[in-house]
Structure 1
Amino acid sequence: MSADDQAFLDVLSSVPNDIRRYSNDVADYVDKHIEKAAGVLREALSSAQWIPESARPSPPPAPKPLLKSTMMPGTSMYMQVHSWVMRHKIWTTVIVFAVGGVTYHIIKRNRKHKKRRARRAGNGARLEVVVVAGSPSEPLTRSISLDLERRGFIVYVVCNTIEEEMQVQNESRSDIRPLMINIVDPSSAHASIDRFLIHLQTPHAAFQGARPHHLALRSLIIIPSLTYPSSPIATLSPSTLSDLLNTRLLNPILTIQTFLPLLTTPAASHSHSTPAKPSVLLLTPSIIPSLSPAFHSTESTIISGLTSFARVLSAELSPLDIPVTHLQLGNFDLSSFTPKNQLQTLHSQRAETLQWPEGARQAYGRNFTTLTSGRGVGSTFGRGSSLRELNDAVFDSMTSNKSGIVRVGQGARIYGFVGGWVPRGLVGWMMGVRSTGSMRTSGAGIVRSEEGSSRSISPGSSGLSDSEYIDLHGYSKSEDDS
């Protein structure tokens, strides 16, 4: 077979394929126009009024918008992402939570390994001074003082007595020094503050021949006592209330008032290595004040007063660019400073209960023992957070230059939420507080007998018998049955 014959056969073999392709194109063209005409006819008939509604065809469905044809070149990626998110909402939620968790973990790890050191002079001398106003025997005062000294601060602990000064000197740290201030005597306190200001403004040399430098007050840290007695309001004596209000509430307020002239006066205005305006930190417990449980009236009252005072102080010092930070503390592990004897604590609570009057012991004894023992508030705290978390929070609050409330420690946030949103009756029930029902008393009161008559009991009378009781609701048992 010649080459011409082969070419002729190839042309003949391609004819069916061409015919099929052309016929398909013609069919598609005809179908397209027929479908379009049918749609136009259907739309016209659906809107025709002369056709009965039952026989009138429904209008053709609206064509779906084509995203690819309507997307602008500059927003194509955004539209694709938006379309994918709308189609895969569950996967989008999972991805958002995963990315958020990883981000939070990375930020927390970076904050944990953040370098927290005080500023120093070029020759290594310490420049920043921190004043800690708290009892030297308190575990938090000792922990914060030692930590700030290790970070490069010069720490002055406010002392009111010679015994407290000896406790500070027994720490055997050259940069933890006592600062004697008699808060009760205003003239003596102002004289001590003036001498301390002169000390800050005097040039200091790290060693002989070194360049002199000036000290600057970095922060004032107020640490009231964190231990409060637990007792019913009925058994609190006036002397105990007066002593607690003076030592736990009035003493921190007077301390801040005494240091206010020093806070508003830059100790070294010509020094550019440290900020001129110091900060104020107030540390208070938060778990008991948030819950306000029974038998903790003194702690709840005093901490509420300090909280209100911190808000007012922040409002007054905010125009002066002096930040006031209120650290609300949770539970911390203080075993390294004050090992506790749980058995001895339980025995002391029972001994205190036996000293109450008979009526108070019958009314509050069972709930008090439950609330202050293994089933009560103390059992819900656990071991507590590490003191390193508190020390890091104190340093960050000192250097943040921002006012506000910082919750730190185990239970500080969760108990704040529980105290603010959970019903108080449920909180008391979870702590073990139960209704005492009908009470017996040997004190003065009105006793209703079984016949419904009432008689008065004087304080010197012998009391009630086993069959007599005081009905808290004001009616006798027979009246309740009727």
Structure 2
Amino acid sequence: MSADDQAFLDVLSSLPHDIQRYSGEVAEYIEHYSGNVADYIDKNVERIADALREALAASPWLPESIRPRPPPPAPALTLPTSAYDSIQNWISRHKIVTGVIVLAAGTILYRTYRSSARSRKTRRARRAGSGGRLDVVVIAGSPALPLTRSLSLDLERKGFIVFIVSNSPEDEIMIHNLSRPDIRSLTIDTTDPPSAGSSIERFAHYLQTPHAAIPGGKRHYLTLKAVILIPSLNYQTSPIATIPPSSFADLFNTHLLNPILTIQAFLPLLTARLSPANNSNNNETAPPKVLVFTPSIISSINPPFHAPEATVCSALSAFTEVLAAELRPLSIPVTHVQLGTFDFAGFSPGASARNRGIHHHHHHHQGVNGAVGLLCASEGADTLQWPDSARHAYARNFERQCGSAISAGRIRGMRGSSLRELHNAVFDVIDGSITSGTVRVGLGAGVYGFVGRWVPRGMVSWMMGIRKVDELSTWEQSESQRNSYNSSLNSPRSAGSVDDHEGEKVGDLEGLEGTSMSQESFVAVGHMDQHKGVADSHVWKEDL
């Protein structure tokens, strides 16, 4: 057998094995493909059957008896979730609410932490080695004010020597009645600049003179730590039309001009840097601080019928800002303390009488800003004493505002903040713990500041009960004004030039003013209108 034949036989012998292998692969492929095809056909047949069943069930033309029933809904698969997962899902759905809650909680926690830390702080003034007092505080405020008395007693208890500025013998008597050896009177007459300067010189000499706690003890020098300005807080509540000019003049003199002159008198002492040559603690002495107190509630929202307080407090705030700008280069801090509502129980003159149930409607009451203020109409003021025109225009809104929940800056039904909050804030400013230029203390100080900045004025007035006035009184010309005007028209000079006619009317008005000023109280004085022939009875003239 040749080699070619043997090769051919080998090929023929290998064919059965290849055919068997290929046939097995083809069988496996057909089996797998047929299985997939069967599965595919089964799934589509079931889908088609479900769709056909649903279509027939929803067909109205089939009778109810042969209409197929729809398949029952598959039961919802609920997986048990933990509380953490539930909270996380709620947070993801309410992101804005979550942010507000986190911000509010953080603010409350921060304020609570600061309040607790400040309440635990030990507040005591410095003492000399011999036990004598070293720090001096001057309070420029009337000793009749509850705020002045409470603050002076607290500072004296904490170790300060307190001087209260007095302008009269009555003030000195009230300071003496406090019965505290370290609360003393400092007489300064701000209306007489030379006398005020002499008083400041004597006070500076007192600070530069060494003192001893006990006779024969070690001597030390006193240090002026702060000058606290507390303006008078008694303001009239009334429409502008019913306030005589003399009241505005007295208000500006006592509430605005007097505090400015007091600070002006102390400025040479503040900028002098009192430092005796033999004082070993010169380098450690901080400059004195200036604290200006003003009520902030009324000046923040400027409500109707509070023109005196709003005007004076706004002017004092502007004055404080200018003073701070001038003293800042001299390293003398100026802090504006904006007061809210405080509880002065025990410090108001009539507190004991009110506690016994005695009501004095004609007396003054303790105001919300620590002052003694006038009563509103709903609390004792008589609007019937106003002129008819002012009563028709303002009386109803005035009474509504006095009866509102937030009238005069007070929140009806809520007591003021504790005086300890104010005392702690003042001490922290004096010792340097608080360095801010503006400090809001008391209930409502921060809230009303926010309302004044962001809430529309119309909404604030509406909340205080102010409503539109539809009915006003008609103008009634007085008999004397009519006679004066008629006589001016019938005079021989009435046919003259316009200038002569106007000059004659001016002369008649001067005579009318002289007649009006002889009355017993403030009266309406006319101002003639050449077009209408009437007199303006809203101009006030003061009794001479």
| TM-score where L is the length of structure 2 | 0.63
Whether the 8 Å CA contact 1:134–1:158 is kept in 2: the answer is yes
- Alpha-carbon distance, 1:328 to partner: 0.4
1:329 aligns with 2:339: yes
Distance 1:301 1:399 in 2: 32
Find out whether 1:358 has 2:365 as its counterpart. Answer: no
Partner in structure 2 of residue 465 of structure 1: none
Q: Following the alignment from structure 1 to structure 2, what is the Cα–Cα distance between the partners of residues 460 and 153?
A: 57
1:105 positional shift: 2.3
Q: Look up the SS of the partner of 1:252 in the other structure.
A: helix
Residues 199-238 of structure 1: matches in 2 within 5 Å? 199-238=206-245
After superposition, residues 5-404 of structure 1 pair within 5 angstroms as 101-269=108-276, 270-272=279-281, 275-338=285-348, 339=351, 345=375, 351-375=381-405, 377-378=407-408, 380=411, 382-400=414-432, 402-404=435-437
Distance 1:271 1:236, change over 3 A: farther
Q: Return closer, same or farther for 1:231/1:187 CA change in 2, 3 Å cut-off.
A: same
Does the 8 A contact of 2:237 with 2:376 survive in 1?
no
Instruction: Indicate how the Cα distance of structure 1 residues 255 and 271 shifts in structure 2: closer, same or farther if over 3 A, else same.
Output: farther
Q: Could you tell me how far apart the structure 1 residues matched to 2:236 and 2:406 are?
A: 15
Alignment of 1:456-471 (within 5 A): 458-459=534-535
1:145 CA displacement? 0.3
Q: Which runs of 5+ in 1 are unaligned?
A: 1-84, 446-454, 462-482
Q: CA deviation at 1:268?
A: 3.1
Residues 117 and 444 (structure 1 numbering): CA distance in 2 closer, same or farther, change over 3 Å? farther
> 1:102: Cα distance to partner?
3.9
- Say if 1:92 and 1:330 are closer, same or farther in 2 by CA, change over 3 A: closer
1:124 Cα deviation from its structure 2 partner: 1.1
Cα 1:271–1:332 change in 2 (3 A) is farther
Give the Å deviation of 1:175.
Answer: 0.3
User: What is the TM-score of this pair, normalised by structure 1?
Assistant: 0.71
Find the counterpart in structure 2 of residue 81 from structure 1: none
Are the aligned partners of 1:128 and 1:154 in contact in 2 as well (CA < 8 Å)? yes
Distance 1:460 1:175 in 2: 57
* Kept after mapping to 2: 8 A contact 1:443/1:457: no
Alpha-carbon RMSD? 2.8
SS of the residue 1:380 aligns to: coil
Contact 1:330 1:411 in 2 (8 A): yes
Q: 2: distance between equivalents of 1:331 and 1:286?
A: 9
Count of residue correspondences: 368
Q: Matched residue of 1:407: which SS?
A: strand
Give CA-to-partner distance per residue, 1:285-326, whole Å, 9 cap, x none: 000001100000111111111001101100110011100000
Quick check: 1:156–1:177 contact (8 Å CA) kept in 2? yes
Q: Tell me how far 1:351 sits from its aligned partner.
A: 4.4
Which amino acid counterpart does residue 140 of structure 1 have in structure 2?
L
Cα distance, 1:113 vs structure 2: 1.5
Deviations 1:224-266 (Å, cap 9, x if unpaired)? 1122101111111111000000000001100000000111112
State the distance in 2 between where 1:306 and 1:192 align: 24
Contact between 2:378 and 2:399, CA under 8 Å: does it hold in 1? no
Contact 1:358 1:442 in 2 (8 A): no
Tell whether the 8 Å contact from 1:266 to 1:276 is kept in structure 2 after alignment.
Answer: no
Q: 1:374 to 1:113 in 2, by over 3 A?
A: same
User: Could you list the per-position Cα deviations for residues 187-221 of structure 1 after superposition, in whole angstroms to 9, with x for gaps in the alignment?
Assistant: 00000000000000001011122110001100000
Structure 1 match to 2:451: 418
Residue type at the aligned position of 1:221: I
Give the AA of the match of 1:394. Answer: V
Asked whether the equivalents of residues 200 and 268 of structure 1 are also in contact (C-alpha less than 8 Å), the reply is no
Identity %: 51
Deviation at 1:402, TM superposition (A): 2.9
Q: 1:197 to 1:419 in 2, by over 3 A?
A: same
Deviation at residue 368 of structure 1 after TM alignment = 1.1
- Cα distance, 1:267 vs structure 2: 2.6
Q: 1:467-482 to 2 correspondence within 5 Å?
A: none
Is the contact between residue 220 and residue 278 of structure 1 (CA under 8 Å) also seen in structure 2? yes
SS in structure 2 of the partner of residue 188 of structure 1: helix
Q: CA deviation at 1:337?
A: 1.1
| Equivalent position amino acid for 2:468 in 1 | S
Listed as ranges, the gaps of 5+ residues in structure 2 are: 1-87, 363-374, 479-530, 538-544
2:377·2:383 contact (CA, 8 Å) conserved in 1? no
For 1:354 and 1:272, locate their aligned partners in 2 and report how far apart those are by CA, in whole Å: 65
Distance (Å, rounded) in 2 between the aligned partners of 1:278 and 1:293: 36
Deviations 1:154-176 (A, max 9, x none): 00000000110111001110000
Alpha-carbon distance in 1 for matches of 2:265, 2:471: 52
1:271 and 1:133 mapped to 2: Cα distance?
Answer: 30
- The alpha-carbon deviation at position 122 of structure 1 amounts to 1.2
Shift of 1:357: 0.8
Indicate the residue corresponding to 1:43 in structure 2: none
Deviation at 1:371, TM superposition (A): 1.4
SS state at 2:220 partner: coil
